[in-house]
Amino acid sequence: MTQEDDALRREIRDWIAREAPRDWRTASTHEAFVASQRSWFAKLVGAGYAVPHWPREWPGGGRSLAEQKIIYEELARADTPRLLLSFVSTYHAFATLAECASAQQRSHYLPRILEGETWCQGFSEPGAGSDLAAIRSRAERRGDVYVVSGQKVWSTMAQYADMCLLLVRTSADGPKQAGLTYLLMDMRLPGVSVRPIHQIQGDEEFAEIFLDEVEIPVSQRVGEEGAGWAVAQATLASERGLTLMELSYRMRGAMLRLSEAVHAAGRTCDAGVLRKLGALATRVDAVCALADRFLQKRMDEDERVGDASIVKLAYSRCLRAWTNLGVELADLAGQMHAPITFGDLNSGNWMADFMNSYAWTIAGGSDEVQRNIIAERMLGMPREPKNWITEARP
């Protein structure tokens, strides 16, 4: 740790002490939660801590790997809220625009994201989740617009979004992946309707998006028509790898919550609990090291296919163990009396966090998909058969 790193850590701690919201866990309505998220994002942008992974020309961008780790660790250590509302905007949308969009699209949308424009992702459909190439939402080109009809589901915070990263089918010919096109859709266009999905714990993190003859200008297309699958990989690579740098370090910074839970449960002398806590701390460190290596390779432009899948898989399994220990420590009382909270991973409600941890074994490609990518594309193992047929035994 250098003197510059120490100075940055002190600077962030001082700033957090002055500016961090104190009552974000007590938000009793979705409106209050969203208002809190918007206010916190604006403060982080103003201080230069919102997008340390962006290039240097943007406020707070161009941070080194060490600086990014310090920022995420300190935000988690101080128990500040994760930016769930702007998560897709600052990671998925940024990565897609930065890597695949035109210069005009980048110059138009990236400043708006820092001004608070909220984005959602319109990929999954009722019949196309893990098998993303099976999407059926149809886009037909008519002159200068694409006319889109279909349905999207499990779109995070879509009910509050201004823009959508939309993957649609423009052709049914050839391989499934070849007929996809990537569009940027204004959520206020006629024909777009959104229905939040009410979850069992009271949250409404996800929503369905219904598209009825929505006219999207051709100028809003990213990449060529039919090249949407390749563009979508930039979005998914962000979800599988880049986002996990922040989340891994937030998990390590929040280990203090587990330590406090051990004390609160009166189990500081419970050898079994302490063994689990020690093993988990080691596992969290390992996930952070994997995230470090991934980001460094990305910064060195040495990223391989499957690197992001390794980080995603390690994080999703570790998060399950992390929240599971919290549930064990909270015991039945923690499940019966914990308040309904909004957001994920760090809500303060161990059972809600535990249930949300399962989402990370699906989002951005299920654990099975990640294992297939690692096995087939990194290790060169035989591809998974397309059709499993079990012959009846005589």
Active site residues: 239
Beta bridge mates, 96: none
Q: C-alpha 315: how far from its chain's center?
A: 12
Pairing of the two strands 145-156 and 119-122:
unpaired
Q: How wide is the angle at C-alpha 168 spanned by C-alphas 162 and 172, nearest 5°?
A: 170
Helix (H, G, I), strand (E, B) or coil at 19: helix
DSSP state string for 203-248:
---EEEEEEEEEEEEGGGEESSTT-HHHHHHHHHHIIIIIHHHHHH
Q: How far apart are CA 216 and CA 52, in angstroms?
A: 32
φ, ψ at 190 (rounded to 5°)? -60, 140
Burial 238-257 (b: 16+ CB within 10 A, else e): bbbbbbbbbbbbbbbbbbeb
For residue 223, the one-letter residue type is G
Six-digit token pair at 274? 């302490």
Does residue 207 contact residue 197 with C-beta atoms inside 8 Å? yes
Token look-up 């300190």 returns 74
- Sign, CA dihedral 215-219-221-224, equals positive
SS3 percent helix, strand, coil of the chain, rounded to 5, is: 55, 15, 30
Count Cβ atoms within 10 A of the Cβ of residue 14 and give its class: 0-12 exposed, 13-18 middle, 19 or more buried.
exposed
Q: How far apart are CA 104 and CA 93, in angstroms?
A: 15
- Sign, CA dihedral 243-245-250-255, equals positive
Six-digit token pair at 333? 């009382």
Q: How far apart are CA 268 and CA 348, in angstroms?
A: 20
Six-digit token pair at 195? 């229905």
Does residue 212 contact residue 193 with C-beta atoms inside 8 Å? yes
Q: C-alpha 87: how far from its chain's center?
A: 6
